[in-house]
Structure 1
Amino acid sequence: MEQVDFLVVGAGIAGLSAAICLARVGRVMVVTKEELAESNTAYAQGGIAVAMGGEEDVALHLEDTMSAGDGLVNREAASVLVEQGPRRVEELLAWGTKFDRENGELMLTREGAHSRSRILHANGDATGKEIAVSLLRHVREMDSIELMEWTTGVDLLMEGGRVVGATLLDGEGGVRVVRAKAVLLASGGAGQVYSDTTNPAVATGDGIAMAYRAGAEVSDMEFYQFHPTAFSVPGAPRFLMSEALRGEGAYLVNAKGERFMERYHPLLELAPRDVVARAITHEGMDGEVYLDMRHVKKDLQTRFPGISKFLAKYRLELGRDLIPVRPAAHYLMGGVRTDVHGRSSLPGLYAAGEVACTGVHGANRLASNSLLEGLVFGVLAAEAMIADDGTQHEPVVEDQGGEVAAVATGSATGEKATERWIAELRDLMWKYAGLLRDAAGLQEAKRRLDALAVTMPRGMFRRALEARNLYTVAELIVAAALGREESRGAHYRNDFPERDAVARHSVMSKDGLKFVA
């Protein structure tokens, strides 16, 4: 049994930002499932939205965030995001983060649903990677932070209704028990619950599942954002075609070569993501949909080096070729329910970044607000952990074994069988609980999930743990989507296409599902 002051699960922008703050007052352990560079943060192409233009810009950023969220945004959380964002970005600059510049000034671009240019980029389309490298460089300079790679969270430790640590599986298959005054979940999203996703393999919803099993409330799990433009070639990965491409003037055209967004929204290609994703899905029923930048007279290879390098593998080039695209699961607006300081419904447990749900994104995240969310709320969660100064208790052995034993019992499932099981779950979620939903499909998803539960992989190895977590996330998404009989933001019900007059958040715990204003 190991003892630290603070345990941080996840090493993306939220986890590392929090760790830097926590390290000033105590010993911090940061754990991540793979190498430190592997996180959703590192894959973020589009940029980081921040209002660097003064009070008017901050006010407009707030209103853009509120508008994109389709009536469900927590205004307090959104205000905190846009007001504290500039200060946090200034810190990144002070730590050596190199954002793109033009004539010596920070280069600002525009993306969907933003009323003005306020998106910072780094190396064209590698913003997340640059931020992650900058944060890691700063973290490595701090002696009070211990970094543990190739370590998977198994379950949270509970004593007297309080979270006091976690059980971990290290890279060599050893089980480690770590106690802490407070635990921060910063483990990212759950895109791997769908067969088509822009998320890396690590995004299996671990933090959400761990929190839910421990008794924490989760919220708004039905709101999964499907990025409109993922690369669509058979056999190729669903590589993200950044929204910045449309910000630079890319058109969307259908199989007939026609621009079609004027039929769906006055902002055309820069409409909110849920609108664009559904439009592409509709147009795609009659053939391929493409991004068209042949009319854009810019050096697109320099502006988008990562995307250009990827496309070159398929003998495609921005500005010369039509790029086939279709929607893919991208970002979860829901997660562990927290206040604006990252406090969950369980004492001792905090969450920040995509794993958390403050309500800052409402029903549909505004483009490029996610990196800013991790940066701002990671620090706020750390400050709350320090202020709350959780009291440590003597270990209670009988409270530590329940969930771990449940995973370890029974004959272990083979790795190939586990992969087949996961693939079946991901396929059914894409088919029945994806971009377009209805009661019949969601009920079928529930029936198939119930059948999968009987054969759920067992064993104390990473993929079995991820399978269990994906199952929990899938159940939560389906239950919340069935309960929300309206269409709002990223949640679209074919059988309930209208939006309710009253905006309500879904809240789930072991006690069941409820909706609250």
Structure 2
Amino acid sequence: MTNDDVLIIGSGVAALQLAVKLTNDLNVRIITKEKIRTANSYLAQGGIAAALGVNDHPSKHIVDTLEAGRFHNNQEVVQEVITAAPDLIMHIAQQGEIFDKKRNGELFLGMEGAHSEKRIVHGGGDATGKNVMEHLISELGQKRNITIEENVFAYELLLNAKQNRCIGVKSKTSTEAIQSFYGKHVIIATGGCGQLYTYTSNAKTVSGDGIAMAYLAGADIVDMEFNQFHPTLLYINGETKGLISEAVRGEGATLVTDDGTQIMEGVHPLKDLGPRHVVSQRIYEFLKNGKQIYLDISNIDDFEKRFPSITSICEGNGIQIAGGKIPVAPGSHFLMGGIKTDLMGRSSIDGLYAIGEASCTGLHGANRLASNSLLEGLFQGERLSKWINETCKVPQELEQNKYFIHPNQERVLNLPDVQQIKDLMMERVGIVRNKENLKKQLAWLNQYKAESIHLDTCSPDDITKVFMLIIANLITDAALKRTESRGGHFRSDFPKEDDHQWLRKTIIHNYKQGMEKCNEHIETALAT
């Protein structure tokens, strides 16, 4: 058993930014499911958006963010984060050779989809996430107050006896031994849930663990229907092999059929750089009709130098860059929803915070604007660190009267294969959705009663399945309830936005409230 001032679950850019910004007199512990470098942030090819250009301004970046998010965004959050972006990025740029620069020493600014100006800062061409993460990891190495626990799978939040404060987390080690960690401030930074789908750009560890834990503990979960599918993953023999960054289209690549027909002509004013949900849906239409789509990169000079990581991925899978065409398909990329928090990262449970993709501040709305995610993680990590640094100056007692949420303790597991979960989510709750498939998926998910399983008795693999089923249920339920199409959520039976009924209306899930309502119905039935 350990007691820390700050307990961070996850090891992406938001988690590490928070850790390095906390003062040295705080005991900080980072728990990560695998290695510290196996995070989505480390894989991020795209860059970080900030209005740094001569002709750019945060007001333009704000407009682009709201437009991409289909005005489901929290406008105050958008304004605060986007306005802070230039100073935040310039400060990091001064720390070393992290970002790419022109010969005159100015930052190189690229273009990505749905941006009105060149404002994307890159590192190592298409290795921005790796560059930023390595910088933060080197900063961590200079701090003696931080302990990193690798290969530790956090699976259940611990609440005090009054059920109103999070005080720690239970985890399993590589030997499946149960270990409890306690902290005055517990932060979930576990990322999204991309591995719920057959095709995804996400790291293999990203399956919604943190969001599922928060949900079971009673935290508010919102906007789970808004899942972004990246238009261009390398697609070979029915499988996706890695991300082909949007920056490739920003440099002039176009989406074409086998005969060279450009598929985005006349579809959106920005053509191949249209919002991701528009481009993904367009590619999906062609694939559904048996037509392969390619990225035509023949007009990009020095592709191998500009995109070394992508070149390596392609050639490692038998695609020769010299051929000028990369076969692509859309796949799960980013979750706009998650644990409902304020901009500080505070959830609806005292002592429990969420930052990065696991959180939902309202910045992204219904669809994330390209390269706003690393920005959000860096911003949130720094903002929360300032608040905790001040808060921890006041002595706090750490209660250890634990409260475990086990509504039922079923020990006989009846769980589907992970691949079956992924395939059915892709088929029924993927890029294009409708009432029939969503209801079919809910019925299939509900038969497993995942929320009632006692996790202490499960292996880490089975816990992952349980969490995937819970998150899949939250996504499917929200997608069924939102009877419109907006951003990353597209309903073929409700293909248009419905501002009258749905603009900025959020679907909230809360497990405790759901259990209380269920108990009320049971008591009423018994009384009658």
Shift of 1:452: 3.7
Q: Which whole-Å deviations, capped at 9, do the CAs of 1:470-505 have from their partners, x for residues lacking one?
A: 111101000100110000011000111111124112
Where do 5+ consecutive residues of structure 1 fail to align? none
Equivalent-residue separation in structure 2 for 1:328 and 1:456 (angstroms): 30
How is 1:6-405 mapped onto 2 (pairs within 5 angstroms)? 6-53=6-53, 56-103=56-103, 104-159=105-160, 160=162, 161-234=164-237, 236-284=239-287, 285-296=289-300, 298-318=301-321, 320-389=323-392, 391-397=396-402, 399=403, 401-403=404-406
Per the alignment, do residues 126 and 175 of structure 1 end up closer, same or farther by CA in structure 2, a change over 3 Å counting? same
How is 1:494-505 mapped onto 2 (pairs within 5 angstroms)? 494-502=492-500, 503=503, 504-505=505-506
Equivalent-residue separation in structure 2 for 1:404 and 1:31 (angstroms): 27
Matched, 1:424 2:429: no
Matched, 1:440 2:436: yes
Equivalent-residue separation in structure 1 for 2:405 and 2:510 (angstroms): 18
Conserved? CA contact 1:456–1:467, under 8 Å: no
Equivalent-residue separation in structure 1 for 2:228 and 2:294 (angstroms): 20
Shift of 1:314: 3.2
Per the alignment, do residues 262 and 457 of structure 1 end up closer, same or farther by CA in structure 2, a change over 3 Å counting? farther
Shift of 1:81: 1.5
SS in 1 for 2:200: coil
Shift of 1:156: 0.7
Q: Which whole-Å deviations, capped at 9, do the CAs of 1:330-365 have from their partners, x for residues lacking one?
A: 000000001111111111111110000001000000
SS in 1 for 2:133: helix
Shift of 1:512: 4.8
Is the deviation greater in 126-135 or in 444-453? 444-453
Is the deviation greater in 134-143 or in 169-178? 169-178
TM-score (norm 2): 0.91
Shift of 1:252: 0.6
Equivalent-residue separation in structure 2 for 1:187 and 1:350 (angstroms): 12
| 1:230 partner amino acid | L
SS in 2 for 1:499: coil
Equivalent-residue separation in structure 2 for 1:360 and 1:512 (angstroms): 27
SS in 2 for 1:261: coil
Equivalent-residue separation in structure 1 for 2:53 and 2:166 (angstroms): 41
Per the alignment, do residues 181 and 299 of structure 1 end up closer, same or farther by CA in structure 2, a change over 3 Å counting? same
Per the alignment, do residues 192 and 111 of structure 1 end up closer, same or farther by CA in structure 2, a change over 3 Å counting? same
Is the deviation greater in 438-447 or in 452-461? 452-461
Shift of 1:238: 3.5
SS in 2 for 1:367: coil
Shift of 1:96: 2.6
Equivalent-residue separation in structure 1 for 2:25 and 2:56 (angstroms): 36
SS in 2 for 1:373: helix
Shift of 1:33: 0.8
Equivalent-residue separation in structure 1 for 2:154 and 2:339 (angstroms): 16
Equivalent-residue separation in structure 2 for 1:339 and 1:276 (angstroms): 31
* 2:473 equivalent in structure 1: 475
SS in 2 for 1:463: helix
Equivalent-residue separation in structure 2 for 1:141 and 1:405 (angstroms): 46
Equivalent-residue separation in structure 1 for 2:490 and 2:250 (angstroms): 25
Conserved? CA contact 1:457–1:467, under 8 Å: no
Per the alignment, do residues 269 and 55 of structure 1 end up closer, same or farther by CA in structure 2, a change over 3 Å counting? closer
Where do 5+ consecutive residues of structure 2 fail to align? 516-528
Q: Which whole-Å deviations, capped at 9, do the CAs of 1:294-347 have from their partners, x for residues lacking one?
A: 133x10001111111111123323352321111100000000001111111111
Equivalent-residue separation in structure 2 for 1:216 and 1:20 (angstroms): 27
Conserved? CA contact 2:240–2:329, under 8 Å: no
Equivalent-residue separation in structure 2 for 1:81 and 1:256 (angstroms): 43
Equivalent-residue separation in structure 2 for 1:449 and 1:405 (angstroms): 17
Is the deviation greater in 462-471 or in 438-447? 462-471
* 2:490 equivalent in structure 1: 492
Conserved? CA contact 2:216–2:405, under 8 Å: no
Shift of 1:275: 0.5
Is the deviation greater in 495-504 or in 322-331? 495-504
Is the deviation greater in 428-437 or in 57-66? 57-66
Conserved? CA contact 1:154–1:168, under 8 Å: yes
Equivalent-residue separation in structure 2 for 1:456 and 1:434 (angstroms): 26
**C-alpha RMSD of matched pairs (Å):** 2.2
TM-score (norm 1): 0.93
SS in 1 for 2:499: coil
Conserved? CA contact 1:292–1:319, under 8 Å: no
| 1:288 partner amino acid | Q
Equivalent-residue separation in structure 1 for 2:413 and 2:348 (angstroms): 33
Matched, 1:449 2:445: yes
Equivalent-residue separation in structure 1 for 2:166 and 2:54 (angstroms): 40
Equivalent-residue separation in structure 2 for 1:267 and 1:257 (angstroms): 19
How is 1:399-414 mapped onto 2 (pairs within 5 angstroms)? 399=403, 401-403=404-406, 406=409, 410=411
Is the deviation greater in 284-293 or in 149-158? 284-293
| 1:117 partner amino acid | K
How many residues get paired? 503
Identical columns (%): 37
Conserved? CA contact 2:184–2:398, under 8 Å: no
* 2:521 equivalent in structure 1: none
